[in-house]
Structure 1
Amino acid sequence: MLNKLKGLIEARSLQDLREAAVSAFGEMGVPRLLCLSPVGHDRSVGRGLTNAGFPEEWETAYRDTRHMDDPLPDISVRIGTAFRWHDLPNDVVLNERETRYLSDLSKWGMAKGICVATYGSAARVGFIAASSESGEDDLDEVDLSLFQIGAETAYLRYCQLMSAELQYEMNLSSRELDVLHWMAQGRSNAGIADMLDLSQETVGTYVKRIFAKLDVFDRTSAVMKGVMRGLVIASDPNVEAAAQQRRARPKRA
């Protein structure tokens, strides 16, 4: 198993990492994987999905609307350790839509599985879930601690590979990332200046640089691009509204 974990660390590309992860978790008995990143409190914003082995029917439904019903990422962040989604902790309270979503997993062959919150660079929070090939096998024998170690290792490498791509493409400085973060929280230039102990003119200069590097012309577009690339997690209502409008657009044939 040590060699499998080493393979995660040494992956040179996202495709290499995907193959190494399927191999490593397959040895644990859970070869089907999914990763959400980044994960925030708002289920509608910025959760990129990577699917390796789960049914296409589930993925289509999840990308469409069912991601809004999925309670597992939120539960995983609160708990902080790996758990079985078919055996939730007793203190978990679900609403009607969340209960229906977990029940519907059976029809996609995903009745049983394990999942965990993961943490990476640039304050990214992710979510990794896995199951057996049938989704019905007894997973009580799967070592949750070992799964969590593997998931964290895989996610850290994922963040490293993504950061390398982003630095090449965008090359945002640490201060520009700070400004983008507060933009994503809906702060004005004046508010950002207070938070970072800068002048408003300096913040304005950083904002212009961010626009240029991200190839955008307004704050909402900058934050949207940052969210989609995993640089920030947004709580700005304007960004959330823009995301809703984007999802509501008719799909092209």
Structure 2
Amino acid sequence: MLDKLKAIMEARSLLDLRQATISAFGEMGMPRVFCLSPVGHDRSVGRSVTNAGFPMGWETAYRETRHMDDPLPDISVRIGTAFHWHRLPGDVVLNQEETQYLEDMAGWGMAKGICVATYGSAARVGFFGASSESGEEDLGEVDLSVFQIAAEISYVRYCQLISAELQYEMNLSSRELDVLHWMAQGRSNAGIAEMLDLSQETVGTYVKRIFAKLDVFDRTSAVMKGVMRGLVIASDPNVEAAAQIRRARRNRA
């Protein structure tokens, strides 16, 4: 197993990482694996889905609407350890939509499996799920700690690779990060101008620069990419506080 983990750590591309991760989980009897990133309490924030072996019917439904019903990432972040998704902790309380989602997983051939939250650079949080070939076997013999270690190593390497491939994205100036932050809170150019004490024309210029640096063409895509790359967290009070500190420092300067 150590050679499998080493292959994950030494993956030179996202494709290599995908293959190494599948191989490692396959060694544990779990050839089917998926990863979500980023995850947070706001389920409406876009989650990229990397799927290897699970049904396309589930993936399509998840991308379209069912991510809003999935309670597993929230549970995994709260408890901090790997667990079987068909054996939830006793203190978990689900609403009707969440209960239905877990029941529907059986219909997608995902009745049983294990999952865990993972943590990477720039405050990124991911989520891994894995199961047997059919999704029906109980994976009780699987060492959940080894699964968690493999998932964490894979996610850390993923964050390293995307940061290396998209290093230019980190070149946003402090003012551009402020503008992107308020874009993530749903503010218009006029609203951002008021918050930052700038003209609308100046804000518009910053928005165009952000689009160019992130290689996007609209506000939604800019916010989504900013969230996925750890540049901003939508509606996060810590980010807002940091933005306010930067503004205060400029005002004192």
TM-score (norm 1): 0.80
Cα distance in structure 1, aligned partners of 2:7 and 2:173? 30
TM-score (norm 2): 0.80
Cα distance in structure 2, aligned partners of 1:218 and 1:53? 33
Confirm whether residue 149 of structure 1 aligns to residue 149 of structure 2.
yes
Match of 2:5 in 1: 5
Following superposition, the deviation at residue 216 of structure 1 comes to 5.6
Aligned CA-pair RMSD:
2.6
Indicate if the aligned counterparts of 1:176 and 1:210 stay in contact, CA closer than 8 A: no
1:132-171 matches, within 5 Å, as 132-168=132-168, 170-171=169-170
Confirm whether residue 56 of structure 1 aligns to residue 49 of structure 2.
no
Confirm whether residue 131 of structure 1 aligns to residue 131 of structure 2.
yes
Cα distance in structure 1, aligned partners of 2:14 and 2:93? 36
Cα distance in structure 1, aligned partners of 2:10 and 2:175? 30
Following superposition, the deviation at residue 231 of structure 1 comes to 4.0
Cα distance in structure 1, aligned partners of 2:154 and 2:176? 24
Confirm whether residue 65 of structure 1 aligns to residue 53 of structure 2.
no
Match of 1:249 in 2: none
| SS state at 1:3 partner | helix
Following superposition, the deviation at residue 221 of structure 1 comes to 5.1
Unaligned runs of 5+ in 2: 237-253
Confirm whether residue 96 of structure 1 aligns to residue 96 of structure 2.
yes
Cα distance in structure 1, aligned partners of 2:176 and 2:89? 37
Q: CA 1:182 to 1:124, structure 2 compared with 1: closer, same or farther past 3 Å?
A: farther
- Could you tell me which amino acid in structure 2 is paired with residue 13 of structure 1? S
Following superposition, the deviation at residue 235 of structure 1 comes to 3.0
| SS state at 1:162 partner | helix
Match of 2:232 in 1: 232
Following superposition, the deviation at residue 209 of structure 1 comes to 4.0
Confirm whether residue 17 of structure 1 aligns to residue 17 of structure 2.
yes
| SS state at 1:137 partner | coil
Following superposition, the deviation at residue 16 of structure 1 comes to 0.4
Indicate if the aligned counterparts of 1:189 and 1:200 stay in contact, CA closer than 8 A: yes
| SS state at 1:23 partner | helix
Match of 1:246 in 2: none
Following superposition, the deviation at residue 158 of structure 1 comes to 0.6
Unaligned runs of 5+ in 1: 194-198, 237-253
Match of 1:172 in 2: 171
Following superposition, the deviation at residue 130 of structure 1 comes to 0.5
